[in-house]
């Protein structure tokens, strides 16, 4: 079982709520949440521009 921390709990909650994919801008604070989300089978899409991420979502 992975170490339980805040990013793990966020990812687990997203999965429990039925989230299938995340659109995000990569940044330091997001790194652990994205990794844990991928471990739960949530697809992730990295963008370089906020507008592109919003339009894709």
Domain range list for the chain: 6-56
Question: Does position 1 have pLDDT exceeding 80, yes or no?
Answer: no
Q: What is the pLDDT of residue 11?
A: 96
Between CA 47 and CA 55, with CA 49 as vertex, the angle to 5 degrees is 80
Tell me what the pLDDT averaged over the chain comes to. Answer: 91
Residues 42 and 14: their CA atoms lie apart, in Å, by 9
Cα atoms in the Cβ-side hemisphere of radius 13 Å centred on 50: 1
With 0.95 as the threshold, say if the pTM is over it: no
Residues 35 and 31: their CA atoms lie apart, in Å, by 6
Helix H or strand E encompassing 22: strand 21-25
The tens digit of pLDDT for each residue in 32-51 reads 999 999 999 999 999 989 99
């Amino acid at each position: 079982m992975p170490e339980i921390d805040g990013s793990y709990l966020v990812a687990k909650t997203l999965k429990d709520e039925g989230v299938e994919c995340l659109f995000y801008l990569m940044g330091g604070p997001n790194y652990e949440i994205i990794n844990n989300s991928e471990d739960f089978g949530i697809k992730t899409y990295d963008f370089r521009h906020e507008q592109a991420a919003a339009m894709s979502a």
